[in-house]
Structure 1
Amino acid sequence: MSNYTADSAAINRVLTDYVEGMTFADEARLRQAFHPSCKIIGNYHGELEWASLDDFIGAIKAESPPAEGAPPVWELKSLDITGDSAVAKVTDDFMGMRFTDYLSLLRVGSQWAIINKLYYLHE
């Protein structure tokens, strides 16, 4: 397996942890997907949100997640990997809202982690 293929598979696991962690309010999976110092940035219903990981997880946990069996709706639109850096464009549905996420990822040691999330809320 090439490095690109191995990195793509590892990043896909991080993205799955992110989307499923968000969908099911699973704090452990969200913490596994994100670097602890990450930022979550976007305009949420017209208000600038510049959140820490703890803020983001708190907001997710405050929502009522769907039943564990309901699969999340998401799609990886693009993935660009250069060495130990990557950018993924993901669309996902969360609590009746549609988002486009631009996720910056970095390989830290042997693990990939989301270090920045810039999102657009489709209204």
Structure 2
Amino acid sequence: MDLIKQSIEQQLIQYFDGLYFSDVSRLKQVFHAQASYITASSGELLKLTMPEYFAMVEQRSSPASKQQQRTDQILHIDVIGNHTALAKVTCSIQPKHFVDLLSFIKLDNRWQIISKVFHYHLDN
């Protein structure tokens, strides 16, 4: 189990860096090509494909370029089995602060996010 958690932690570091630097190449290493991006924080369902999500990331200014403080934190990793895990993490892309539930699957000897379901709140 420790090796599985370490592998997932490494992917989460890539995930956090991809978000902070708006680096789609890093995010493409972490997300499965068929992954889902889902939230209902605004009161309506938002569901994006990976190409839609990556296009959004490419168009925004990175938190790094604005020298925003990083708030990345792994709250929990739950290993369900040899090919399935769930991570709960937090991070910020100001003015939004996120809690992400990231479902991981292991295919071709590699852990990848297959589903990102998240909630965000805005700065007060």
TM-score by length of structure 2 reads: 0.88
Give unmatched runs, 5+ long, in structure 1. Answer: none
How many residue pairs align between the two structures? 120
> What's the C-alpha RMSD, in Å, of the aligned pairs?
1.7
| Identical residues among aligned pairs (%) | 28
Deviation at 1:70, TM superposition (A): 6.2
Structure 1: distance between partners of 2:72 and 2:64: 17
Spell out structure 1 runs of 4+ moving beyond 6 A. 68-71
Structure 1: distance between partners of 2:38 and 2:26: 20
Deviation at 1:44, TM superposition (A): 4.9
Secondary structure of 2:38's aligned partner: strand
- Corresponding residue number in structure 1 for 2:17: 20
- Corresponding residue number in structure 2 for 1:98: 97
Deviation at 1:8, TM superposition (A): 0.7
Letter in 2 for 1:87: L
Give unmatched runs, 5+ long, in structure 2. Answer: none
Match of 1:54 among 51, 69, 90: 51
Structure 2: distance between partners of 1:116 and 1:33: 11
Structure 1: distance between partners of 2:69 and 2:10: 15
Structure 1: distance between partners of 2:24 and 2:104: 19
